[in-house]
Structure 1
Amino acid sequence: MTDMITVAVWNLGTAGAADAGRADAALDMLASYEPDVFLQQDDPRPGAYAAQRKDRTESRLGMHGFLAAPNPTADTSIAASMYLRPDVFSQSRAVYPTKPWQLHPCQVRVRMDDCPLPLNLLSLTMCDFDADLRMHEAAWLTTQAHPGMVTLAAGSTNSYTSSLTEREAHPAWEEITDPAFRTQRTFVTFDGRRCSDVRPDLLLKNAGYQDLAQRVAGHSRRGAALNPTAGYNKPLHGGPQRTDRVYGVGGIEDAVGDVEVICGEALDVSDHALLLVRLNRRALKQVLTRPRTPAR
């Protein structure tokens, strides 16, 4: 047993849906980092393939999986999934939220040893085409941030960080030649200006969430935690951006030791980087042992 708990966050998309070799390469890469939690986004569910993929992932990683059901009203058969190492966490309750999500997230509340408080884990993808719907999805996440709740929510936000130090890396929207993408990833202010959609990030932070990569970068000055996670092969969309993010609330931010962005080999099997969040085991247990703060 190590002093750190590793949370892997990866939007694998359709990797392996048509190419088993890519799926095996992704699992081999994940296994090399020995994650205790794997939060997967955009997991395809065509028929029996979902169960086969789940079985293969569980077997290769030595983890227990949970699959959210695809949204029957969406024009796609993908959803989020989650895998947990059973000797680290015991399941408390699996939840599969639906409204207002375009792509259903996967939520599992787990217990760690004899800690009295549960850890609330969410794997998610925010809507990629509707900025207003993303706001509704972010608003739903605030229901997981009430006093006494310890939550880690991670995945593809399809939006941008509100951090002033990162805004200069946002796409120059007047130069984007894909008008559909420009419309999907921006909002228009009251005075008619088109701006990067940072509103989900702002809303989450107003509710108490912290961007764990920003916390690591600020406390340890490891700026690599803020490296881009997606958009590497999409020149019409303004270049690579940090749209895959990990948020924490309820004290879990105090347990974060590092956030690492793995590109290189990860981009050989997906168009998203792999995120590794390392939590100090002792600090996390302390967070989950704190007296529950009653809601006011």
Structure 2
Amino acid sequence: MTKPHTLTVVSWNFEANGKGNQHTRHIAHQKLAGLGANLVFRQEMWGADADGEQVMQEMERLLGMRGWLGERSCTAIFADHNFEVVRQWNAAPLYVLPPTALAMRYTPAGPDAAPFVGVSYHLNYASPTNRLIEAEWLTTWADKRWATPRGDTLVLPCISCGDANSYPHADVDGAPVLPVLKEIQDQPHRLHRSYVGPDGRRLMDTRPDEALRTAGLEDVARHRALAGDLKAVARTVDRNDTHGPDARIDRVYVTPELLPAVRDVDVIEVPLELSDHHMVRVKLDADVLADILRAVFAGAA
């Protein structure tokens, strides 16, 4: 098996999985396939479980990848031949849209390399309270222990990709600014994207980002932007007359040991008629990733 120099990871909330339109799905997944992705983290997989998962099988053929569909057909992960799934977890019952969570081996790293956890998530749209709880539970996949053949245990690295339905802390130059609550025309959306702060005023919801970062997960786009690569923090949803300005709703988080493998982050824009979210693309150095996974395994000795 030839090991690629770069691994491409793509996260995408493809709106309503094409809204039941096979032609739209075909266009969308041809676009994905054209990116040469090795791992795809998908959200809004509605209908992929129907009729013996025929839609899921269709998508596997279009992408040339194997897929794992999460509970209630909300999220999924697709992987090429470089990855082997060794465990799939059920989500906590509090999730409105359950994530897909897998332990995966990067097989070119060899048998003396640790698996890592991959999570495709979609946090709650309407309730900032439930969204924070979901984000807190999301951190548990960054704390998964794995038994080695020697009988000791290690904590697995983790990569979580998805739709946070909330905002990152606006502490990076060049990133979309936080909306002003009263300038959001859709009043229910004001509730959906804000919470009541300690002084009784409503604040724009950045709490899931704060929770994930408190747990040690790093926003890879922010990481790259702080190094000067401002394209990494481009919008992932466009300005909308009712919902507010451009925003970086879709984000990829990794545990710190994986950061040295992150070589590039960018956003692939798609037309609104295809989806209301753009794609987030992360390029990983394959050799560095393999070294990291082998080092994690060795560190458990």
What CA distance in whole angstroms lies between the structure 1 residues aligned with 2:236 and 2:167?
11
* Counterpart in the other structure of 1:242: 248
* Counterpart in the other structure of 1:112: 106
Map 1:1-296; keep pairs closer than 5 Å: 1-45=3-47, 48=50, 51-70=53-72, 78-85=73-80, 87-113=81-107, 114=110, 115-146=112-143, 148-165=155-172, 169-219=177-227, 221-232=228-239, 234-263=240-269, 265-291=270-296
What CA distance in whole angstroms lies between the structure 1 residues aligned with 2:168 and 2:279?
18
Q: What per-residue deviation string (whole Å, max 9, x for no partner) do you get for residues 23-78 of structure 1?
A: 111011011111111100011027626712211111111111111121xxxxxxx5
Letter in 2 for 1:215: H
What CA distance in whole angstroms lies between the structure 2 residues aligned with 1:46 and 1:15?
8
Q: Give unpaired runs (5+ residues) of structure 1.
A: 71-77
The alpha-carbon deviation at position 2 of structure 1 amounts to: 2.7
Q: Relative to 1, partners in 2 of residues 1:191 and 1:50: Cα closer, same or farther, differing over 3 Å? A: farther
Q: Give SS of 1:253's match.
A: helix
CA contact (8 A) 1:68 1:105 kept: yes
Which stretch of the first structure deviates more once superposed, 41-50 or 176-185? 41-50
What CA distance in whole angstroms lies between the structure 2 residues aligned with 1:50 and 1:179?
40
Which stretch of the first structure deviates more once superposed, 177-186 or 150-159? 177-186
Q: Relative to 1, partners in 2 of residues 1:49 and 1:161: Cα closer, same or farther, differing over 3 Å? A: farther
What CA distance in whole angstroms lies between the structure 1 residues aligned with 2:202 and 2:176?
15
| Identity across matched positions, percent | 28
Q: Give SS of 2:160's match.
A: strand
Letter in 2 for 1:3: H
Q: What per-residue deviation string (whole Å, max 9, x for no partner) do you get for residues 254-274 of structure 1?
A: 2101111011x4544111001
The alpha-carbon deviation at position 140 of structure 1 amounts to: 0.9
What CA distance in whole angstroms lies between the structure 2 residues aligned with 1:24 and 1:196?
36
Q: What per-residue deviation string (whole Å, max 9, x for no partner) do you get for residues 225-261 of structure 1?
A: 10110144x2211122000000000411221011110
TM-score, normalised to structure 1, is 0.90
Which stretch of the first structure deviates more once superposed, 237-246 or 46-55? 46-55
What CA distance in whole angstroms lies between the structure 2 residues aligned with 1:163 and 1:65?
34
* Counterpart in the other structure of 1:73: none
Q: Give SS of 1:29's match.
A: helix
What CA distance in whole angstroms lies between the structure 1 residues aligned with 2:52 and 2:177?
37
CA contact (8 A) 1:139 1:204 kept: yes
What CA distance in whole angstroms lies between the structure 1 residues aligned with 2:257 and 2:52?
34
CA contact (8 A) 1:177 1:236 kept: yes
What CA distance in whole angstroms lies between the structure 1 residues aligned with 2:89 and 2:49?
22
What CA distance in whole angstroms lies between the structure 2 residues aligned with 1:125 and 1:195?
21
Q: Give unpaired runs (5+ residues) of structure 2.
A: 144-153
What CA distance in whole angstroms lies between the structure 1 residues aligned with 2:56 and 2:292?
31
Letter in 1 for 2:105: R
CA contact (8 A) 1:266 1:274 kept: no
Q: What per-residue deviation string (whole Å, max 9, x for no partner) do you get for residues 146-167 of structure 1?
A: 3722000010000110132368
CA contact (8 A) 1:231 1:237 kept: no
The alpha-carbon deviation at position 18 of structure 1 amounts to: 3.0
- Pairwise CA RMSD of aligned residues? 1.9
- State how many pairs are aligned: 283
CA contact (8 A) 2:197 2:203 kept: yes
Q: Give SS of 2:75's match.
A: strand
TM-score, normalised to structure 2, is 0.88
CA contact (8 A) 1:149 1:250 kept: no
* Counterpart in the other structure of 1:74: none
